[in-house]
A and B are shown apart, each in its own frame.
Chain A
């Protein structure tokens, strides 16, 4: 066989392979550029979407914790730097506010047969995003320690504090609790969680007027202060990364931590295998005698940029359908609590599912929620350190939020 014939056959083989690959995803041509946060579940999604790449279809990704800060400028230009922005309950808001993402109704009708109704994020009359996983903080506990001291798994904050007191009195642990109380985003999120558990709302209905300066606000702060009393003196430096080594060191028996971290806590390659074996999960505690877990439910999903060609938008949607396909989920069942059709819960997902079944409320998807989150994160530490009153802390939050909301045009 001559060289020419041989290479000809090779080229034909190659062409038919790419033809097959393209046929699998069903994209003829286009460019798919994904921007997302950086954690295991999203890696799995982006990798699956990348299998759609072929000679005529380009699939690139940028997975970074800074995605929230670059998404607005990157999608504002025309054509947008990214065609797909993977977002969560809070980070979709700036994209909506600035009108940077397109309604997906047509694409869902045409290519979204695998989606279930609960995956569709509807804003008004339009589908603006597709959710594929749920996340929430919940209780992590040490089965062995609780059992040894005859403590039942706490379901309310009162029981959490009683358990902590028992452990402290027994001399087992001086600081048995942990939660992400680092000032800034983490601390703000803890307030939001706890306050949601009271059943009250953050804002006066239909307006940006803050409404947390009430008994439930004070109750929330008192509960957080009690948490701090049972936490290590370094609590103000704990974020979700900082908590894990403390847990692995065996210093903590009860923690409020993200569900997306649960897998790593019980992983076989954990640095402290005996602690990983004894780690179990439950719903977030309730507060003030209410029945719902005091925690915000989050979804992660994707959106398609507005400032791109229709061809790229269609290619992106189809590639993301591949990214969140049931096959991807089967291979990565442990990586997240998937909202994808046919999901079977795994041990690592017990906590988030318990939150969900307990009726936990969703993180409010409001245009000014981010401003409140920041104001909370910046103004609660002094109260928790014991340097100011709860009333003063709430007044500081209100002042900071009101100033920011005025500047952003939400309040007059």
Chain B
């Protein structure tokens, strides 16, 4: 394609990407380097229905002048990135210096909010993504082999988990796993343990979130694989049959190599999506046992009474860097395949 034609096609989306993605990311990066002005406090007598107290409040006139001079706040460099709520470099140095063994170092680092969130985010990403690919493939193969008249309804029902909004889907499951809900009560009866609660222990909460993640995303992998299955060349399949390949051998040696590029596409999408896991944590009220990077951003923006924009911006930038690192191997692989074809 000539470059002119390519440009003619791409510019609207390029423009939209610059306006709605690139510029906001740059402004977030800029924001992450600043913190609020030092607050000028005054002590005054405050009164209300429950009596008077002498307490401090912000000197509004003085603050207005400061903001006028420097609207973005105080420059803090990478200070927000390295503070205790993010990479916590000083804290880690102190932990390493004062701990006796590796286990203690690990436990104390895992207690830092950023690393606690990071470890759940990574665990979620690396457990859910492969399971989604495998399950999606199995469903696609099964659906592809059922009689034609059943296919429509089966496909519709297989897609339902993806059609349901994540928050609604997780709330529905949240009520079902309640100890009075159908799944929760069923499990209690099954294991004969009336105190069993999927919401109580951190481990079971993690498992619940993983199961929910697979349930929610498998239809996406299924749809992609199912579309791919329709294009598997029948001649190759038939010649494999003539050669005496069993059903499993045909899937293993014909279908799977053929669908491999699709698998890497799904992996790419799922790695990105899963790394940003957020809604289920709210839906399942799981913040006690599982927080993710996105949850940290959310919590900073709703912190107390005034949002911590710098802190949220720093976590956002770290999330973007995380996504890039995660995607590098997959992108690298795609690039190699692309260059080979050219």
* Chain A residues close to B by CB (< 8 Å): 68-69, 72, 89-91, 93-94, 96-99, 118-125, 131, 134, 182-184, 206-208, 232-237, 242, 249, 297, 299, 339, 356, 360-362, 364-367, 369-374, 378-379, 381-382, 385, 387-388, 392, 396, 399-400, 402-404, 406-410, 412
Residues of B near A408 (CB, < 8 A) are 35-36, 39, 306, 308
Chain B residues with Cβ below 8 Å from A89 are 48
Q: B residues bordering A, Cβ < 8 Å? A: 35-39, 41-53, 55-58, 60-61, 63-64, 73-74, 76, 80, 83-85, 91, 111, 113, 178-180, 195, 197, 199-200, 202, 285, 287-289, 299, 302-306, 308, 310-311
In the complex, are the beta carbons of A121 and B38 less than 8 A apart?
no
> Residue of B at shortest CB range from A126?
B44
Q: How far is the CA of A387 from the CA of B179 in the complex (A)?
A: 23
- Contact: A402 with B84, CB < 8 Å? yes
Contacts of A91 in B (CB 8 A): 305
Other-chain residue from A118, A360, A404, A412 in contact with B303 (beta carbon distance below 8 A):
A404
CB distance from A131 to the nearest CB of B (A): 5
A265 to chain B, nearest CB (A): 19
Rounded to whole angstroms, the CA-CA distance of A232 and B188 in the bound complex is 15
The answer to whether A407 and B36 touch across the interface, beta carbons within 8 angstroms, is yes
In the complex, what's the smallest C-beta–C-beta distance from B304 to chain A, in angstroms?
2
- The answer to whether A119 and B200 have CB atoms under 8 Å apart is no
Overall SS of chain A's interface: mixed
The interface residues of chain A lying within 8 Å CB-to-CB of B200 are 233-236
Q: Determine whether the beta carbon of B302 is less than 8 Å from that of A69.
A: yes
A367 with B303: CB separation less than 8 A? no
Q: How far is the CA of A367 from the CA of B42 in the complex (A)?
A: 11
Contact residue among A97, A121, A339, A379 (Cβ-Cβ distance under 8 Å from B306): A97
Nearest CB in chain B: distance from A89 CB, A: 8
Given contacts A69-B302, A365-B46, A96 and B85 within 8 Å (CB-CB): no
Q: Which of A69, A232, A400 contacts B84 (CB 8 A)?
A: A400
Closest B-chain residue to A118, C-beta based?
Answer: B49
**B49 pairs with A409, CB closer than 8 A:** no
What residues of chain B lie closer than 8 Å to A182, measured between beta carbons? 285, 288
A124 to B63, CA, bound (A): 17
Cβ-neighbour of B305 out of A94, A234, A360, A362 (below 8 A): A94
A236 touches B49 (CB 8 A): no
**B48 contacts A370, CB within 8 Å?**
no
Query: How far apart are A184's CB and chain B's nearest CB, in angstroms?
Result: 6
**Interfacial chain B residues near A378, Cβ < 8 Å:** 113, 287, 299
Inter-chain CA distance A134–B51, complex, in Å, is: 13
- Determine the distance from Cα of A131 to Cα of B304 in the docked complex, in whole angstroms: 21
Q: Tell me, rounded to whole Å, the shortest Cβ–Cβ distance linking A342 to chain B.
A: 15
Tell me the nearest residue of chain B to A68, going by C-beta: B305
Contact A409 B35 (CB under 8 A): yes
The interface residues of chain B lying within 8 Å CB-to-CB of A93 are 305
Docked Cα-Cα span, A173 to B81, in Å, equals: 49
A134 to B195, CA, bound (A): 38
B contact residues around A392 at 8 Å (CB): 111
Distance to closest chain B CB from A338 (angstroms): 11
Q: Is the pair A120, B47 in contact by a Cβ cutoff of 8 Å? A: yes
Task: Give A74 Cβ to nearest chain B Cβ, in Å.
Answer: 14
CB pair B304 A371 closer than 8 Å: yes
Tell me the minimal C-beta distance from B324 to chain A in angstroms.
25
Q: Is the CB of A362 within 8 A of B53?
A: yes
CB distance from B20 to the nearest CB of A (A): 20
Known contacts A182-B285, A378-B113, A404-B308; A371 and B303 CB within 8 A of each other: yes
Question: Given A206-B56, A370-B304 in contact, is the A412-B38 Cβ separation under 8 Å?
Answer: yes
Whether B56 contacts A362 by the Cβ 8 Å rule is: no
> Which among B43, B48, B199 is the interface contact of A299 at CB below 8 angstroms?
B48
A400 pairs with B113, CB closer than 8 A: yes
Flag if B304 contacts A373 (CB, 8 Å): yes
Contact A97 B303 (CB under 8 A): no
Q: Is the CB of A409 within 8 A of B39?
A: yes
Tell me the complex Cα distance, A178–B71, Å.
46
- Collect the chain B residues with CB atoms within 8 Å of residue A402's CB: 84
Across the interface, B45 reaches (CB within 8 A) one of A124, A385, A400, namely A124
Other than the given A68-B305, A98-B306, 11 more pairs (CB < 8 A) read: A90-B305, A96-B57, A118-B48, A299-B48, A356-B50, A361-B50, A370-B306, A396-B111, A400-B85, A408-B35, A408-B39
Do A381 and B49 touch (CB < 8 A)?
A: no
Q: A234 with B197: in contact, given A206-B43, A370-B305, A409-B36 (CB under 8 Å)?
A: yes
Check B47–A121 contact: CB distance below 8 A: yes
Residue on B nearest A370 in the bound complex, by CB: B304
**Contacts A/B (CB < 8 Å), 7 sampled:** A121-B48, A134-B49, A362-B50, A388-B111, A402-B84, A403-B85, A409-B38
Please tell me if the beta carbons of B197 and A297 are within 8 angstroms of each other in the complex.
Answer: no
B55 & A96 in contact (Cβ 8 Å cutoff): no
> Does A366 lie within 8 Å of B56, measured CB to CB?
yes
Q: Report the separation of the CA atoms of residues A7 and B339 in the bound assembly, to the nearest whole angstrom.
A: 83
Counting from the closest, the 9 A-B pairs by CB-CB distance are: A370-B304, A370-B305, A124-B44, A236-B288, A99-B60, A233-B200, A409-B36, A233-B197, A362-B50
